[in-house]
Amino acid sequence: MVKRVWVIGIGPGGIDQVTVAAIRALNRVEVFLVPDKGAAKHDLVALREQICATYIDHDYRIIEVPDPERGPDAERSADQYAGGVRDWHRARADRYAELLTGLPEADAGFLVWGDPAFYDSTLRILDTLQADGLEFEVTVVPGISAIQLLAGEHRTVLNRIGQPIHITTGRRLVADYRAYGSDLGDLVVMLDGALTCRELRAEPLEIFWGAYLGAPEQVLRRGRLDAVIDEIVDLRARLRAAHGWIMDTYLLRPITPAGPTP
Ligand SMILES: C[S@@+](CC[C@H](N)C(=O)[O-])C[C@H]1O[C@@H](n2cnc3c(N)ncnc32)[C@H](O)[C@@H]1O
């Protein structure tokens, strides 16, 4: 049974976003568990392998763990979605429990895309395993998130002076905005395969969009939502078809009476 599990944020797209603390942690780990999400996302597994090969100077093993099937999220209600995610976490937890108990007394590691603090289930699953009685220590090494990279690549600050930042998902965006409007401050949207901001095109919003942030394929677009959203929708579909997968994040910023950010 492993003694310590390292949860290491590796940044959102390339070997350049790996922090020095992450490199130190990588060099403590003997076995990495990497979820394999199928052929289309094989690029993402390959990137993790490249990070290990670049920064680790001892022998290590990578175990690819096939991800359990996840339901058709887009067609589910909020309750069905939450239930589906819980079942999927449970199935993942069972797979990890089997692997971690079968390993020798070693340090194991999870390479988490971006930062473990944003929309990532690794820490929740490890909590479940500990609640089930498995005994191991957990160390978290934060990474650079797609959120920070989006702001940096667009050379912008996420919040207006003294105003909040609301981080949400495509699934929740429209309901959040209709309920609170510009009181939410600037909105950062992740996990939005449908670019649901289309439904807000009549609102006074500016969009800062980024796909494949940090990777050589990175693409950025920015402008008034109503003016650029059709182009972004079309571009996203073409990029997804060309690469077989896409990850994108965007910021929506209320346009003030003084106009969009210069
Ligand atoms: C499961 S969440 C993981 C977030 C990650 N933990 C982070 O800190 O960025 C996946 C979502 O993160 C965003 N994302 C991750 N990597 C990205 C990238 N390289 N470019 C743009 N968005 C990315 C997308 O919104 C994607 O749907």
pLDDT at 83: 74
Give the mean pLDDT of 228-256.
Answer: 96
As a whole-number percent, the residues of the chain with pLDDT over 90 amount to 70
pLDDT > 90? residue 45: no
In Å, how far from its chain's centre is CA 6? Answer: 18
Q: Does domain 147-254 have CATH number 3.40.50.970?
A: no
Ligand 1 center from residue 210 Cα (angstroms): 10
Torsion angle of the four alpha carbons 153, 159, 161, 162, in this order, in degrees rounded to the nearest 10: -150
pLDDT tens for each residue of 201-238: 999 999 999 999 999 999 999 999 999 999 999 999 99
pLDDT tens for each residue of 122-171: 999 999 999 999 999 999 999 999 999 999 999 999 999 999 999 999 99
pLDDT at 198: 98
Tokens representing residue 102 in the block: 């079968």
Give the mean pLDDT of 85-96.
Answer: 84
Q: Count Cβ atoms within 10 A of the Cβ of residue 258 and give its class: 0-12 exposed, 13-18 middle, 19 or more buried.
A: exposed
pLDDT > 70? residue 75: no
Ligand 1 center from residue 177 Cα (angstroms): 21
Cβ(146) to ligand 1 under 6 A?
yes
**What topology does CATH give the domain 4-144?**
Cobalt-precorrin-4 Transmethylase; domain 1 (3.40.1010)
Hey, what amino acid is at 23?
Answer: I
pLDDT at 38: 64
The pairing of beta strand 107-112 with beta strand 31-36:
parallel
Ligand 1 center from residue 13 Cα (angstroms): 9
Domain boundaries, the chain: 4-144, 147-254
Cβ(214) to ligand 1 under 6 A?
yes
Q: Are 107 and 141 in contact (CB under 8 A)?
A: no
Strands (E), 58-203: 61-66, 107-112, 137-141, 165-169, 186-190
For residue 96, give the nearest of 65, 132, 140, 131 by alpha carbon: 65
pLDDT at 250: 98
pLDDT at 16: 93
